[in-house]
Structure 1
Amino acid sequence: MVNIEKYMKREIAGVGQEDNIQTVRNLMLKEDISRLLVIEDNKAVGIVTKKDIARRLAQTRAPWQRRPIDKISVSRIMSTELKSLLPDTRLEDTARLMIKESISSVPVIDGDDRLLGIITTTDLIRAFAENLEGVYKNRDLMTENVITANRYHSLYHIVTLMEENSISRVVISDGNKPVGIITVTDLSFLDLNDPKKGLKMKRIMYVRKPQRDSRASYRYVLHSPLTAEDVITENLITTTEDEDCSRTAATMLKNGISSLPVVKNDELVGIITKKDLVKGMAKR
């Protein structure tokens, strides 16, 4: 397989340590990217990702104790333990490094540690689509144990599932039927604050269990945090166990998504993610 020099990005969007999270979010949206290198003197000194932002926004402190994201500097949330590669590194070796270190991007440097570019999982997926047709079916690489939630779980619960299981998405299901998905991108770019009313809340009506010989009564929870149904992406793109993984990779690239639920007779039987495809590349 070819070297990463063919697939790496040479135009690098970066930020400084003193930039704020609002600036980071805006730049990620503008450039349609999920991580930014923190750069000083043409050298990468750290990285900040959507997951870092989602983790910060999901903190459970009271609304009045939360610091506005335009007041939080990149240095407070960035990761500083960076791995780096030379441009002549093979794609499969890059895939092995990403899996071993649980990372989704690696700076590419020259012999003097000067930054040349970045290689990401998306770049590896493009290489997968172009080079590995006929090698794997979805059933060979998919994850069968899918982490799911329902529409009424809180966003804090969703983030907790992501953290505890080291995943970047949670499938929202109705029984065993997938009805939507929430990704770390959805949470990172969610506007949690209403400029007029403060932190967004919703009213939820629930049925109080009736006492003997009395009717059920209804109550409103006046201050309930947002739930999965407020964020869910419902136009779900799915795939099957027998689909060629190179076509799955192409579908991910075409639609700008990082995972596809795998269904059989409309029921959820697994999920295939960019990470699963990278694992497949690492086996080569």
Structure 2
Amino acid sequence: MRADVQEKISVAARDLMKEPITIKKSSSSMYDVIKKLLECDISRLLVMDGTENIVGIISEKDVGLSLLSEISERKINEIPSSETMKPVLSVDESLCVRECAKMMIDRNIGSLGVCENKRITGILTKTDLVNYYLQNHTGLKKVRDVMTLSYVSGSCNDSVHDIITEMIRKRVSRIILKNQDGIPKGILTFRDIFQISMIFGQEDVVVNNTHSSIPEVSPRTGFISESGFGNATMADEVMTNNIVSVDHNDDLTSACRAMIENKINGVGVLMNDKLVGIVSKTDVTQAIASWSPFDTI
């Protein structure tokens, strides 16, 4: 086995992990979770119990699903964070990066808790793997080698409720929005809905001037749910207009750099200046998971 290949395979979780950003299980609400995700510009929080042990994890996708399904009269600062928390999968700090990536792909998760002496002391995310690939593996693969040659799309005129429902159904973290001529105009992610959730999710009424099926002032019976403001808010009101893209012939590190610098989970892929697919942090993680001794740089 080549020495450089052996080195890239033997890098361990401890070499890439970050100190976790946490929230307390007993005293935090959905509002606190969203606020911290936005302020720290991250996609997940680890949850601590009263003894400061890590007992769970909350991802932005979990928050999106919770907001979609919440149809009660509770405000977001009245919903305990524990209702959204999930168990955290952890690994020993010595586990190699390839096995960590493989575990993320196999379990369809975006992060791993990293344990030292059986106690979680760090977190390893797909972002860490993408940054590692960017710093160490120029020339290994092209964008076309790992990209997803398709993408989930919707209409700019669809409601936020319909768009988020489709994202969860298709198990994607982003959806490309097209105008009436079928031209991609923007992208919507879970992060885009958090700001309006912070505003409307604490109000007792929703003021609506856009959707004919809902009165101009209606009770807030949910958030992005069909009965809440998600059905009264159109996707183009909250979408990000700029679709960050790379060419299919670019080195994969170009896509990694675009994701890291723009703090996004995926970029569009162009072929002859036409959007033909997506390359995401999951695609890069899959590339790392599939490394073998026969890879060349």
Tell me, yes or no, whether TM beats 0.5.
yes
CA deviation after TM superposition for structure 1 residue 127, in Å: 0.5
Aligned with residue 126 of structure 1, among 126, 131, 135: 131
Query: 1:31-58 CA deviation, whole Å, 9 max, x = no partner?
Result: 1111111112232211111112111222
Range 30-39 or range 3-12, more displaced: 3-12
For 2:70 and 2:36, locate their aligned partners in 1 and report how far apart those are by CA, in whole Å. 26
Q: Which residue of 2 aligns with 1:188?
A: 194
Q: For 1:77, which of 79, 84, 87 is the aligned residue?
A: 84
The corresponding residue for 1:53 is 63
Equivalent residue in structure 2 for 1:37, among 35, 46, 54:
46
Confirm or deny that 1:143 pairs with 2:148: yes
Deviation at 1:227, TM superposition (A): 1.1
Structure number with greater Rg is: 1
Counterpart Cα distance in 2 of 1:3 and 1:251: 25
- With over 3 angstroms needed to count, the CA separation of the structure-2 counterparts of 1:177 and 1:266, relative to structure 1, is farther
Q: 1:9 aligns with which of 15, 18, 29?
A: 18
TM-score, structure 1 as length reference: 0.86
Deviations 1:177-213 (A, max 9, x none): 3211001111233335187782242325xxxxxxxxx
Compare 163-172 and 12-21 and name the one that shifted more.
12-21
**Counterparts of 1:28 and 1:103, CA distance in 2:** 17
Can you give the 5+ residue segments of structure 2 that lack an aligned partner in the other structure? 1-7, 216-230, 292-297
User: Is 1:261 matched with 2:268?
Assistant: yes
Matches within 5 A, 1:158-237: 158-174=163-179, 175-191=181-197, 193=200, 198-203=205-210, 223=215, 225-237=232-244
Q: For each residue in 1:135-185, what CA deviation from the matched residue of structure 2 results, as whole angstroms up to 9, or x when unmatched? A: 111111111121000111111111111111111110112345321100111
Cα distance 1:135–1:24, how it changes in 2: closer, same or farther (>3 A)? same
In 1, Cα distance between the equivalents of 2:53 and 2:201?
38
Higher alpha-carbon deviation: 144-153 or 185-194: 185-194
Q: How big is the alpha-carbon RMSD for the aligned residues of Structure 1 and Structure 2?
A: 2.0
* 2:162 aligned partner, one-letter code: H
Following TM superposition, by how much is the alpha carbon of 1:14 offset from its aligned partner in structure 2, in angstroms?
3.0
Residue by residue over 1:227-273, the C-alpha shift from the partner in whole angstroms, topping out at 9 and shown as x without a partner, is 11111100221111101111210111111111111122342211111
Unaligned stretches of 5+ residues in structure 1: 205-219
Report the structure, 1 or 2, having the larger helix content: 2
CA contact (8 A) 2:20 2:46 kept: no
Task: Tell me what 1:282 maps to.
Answer: 289
Alignment partner for residue 254 of structure 2, among 241, 247, 252?
247
Q: Is the 8 A contact 1:176 1:268 kept in 2?
A: no
Counterparts of 1:198 and 1:104, CA distance in 2:
35
1:97 aligns with 2:103: yes
Equivalent pair of 1:177/1:268 in contact (CA under 8 Å): no
Are the counterparts in 2 of residues 259 and 271 from structure 1 also a CA contact under 8 Å?
A: yes
User: How high is the sequence identity, in percent, across the aligned residues?
Assistant: 28
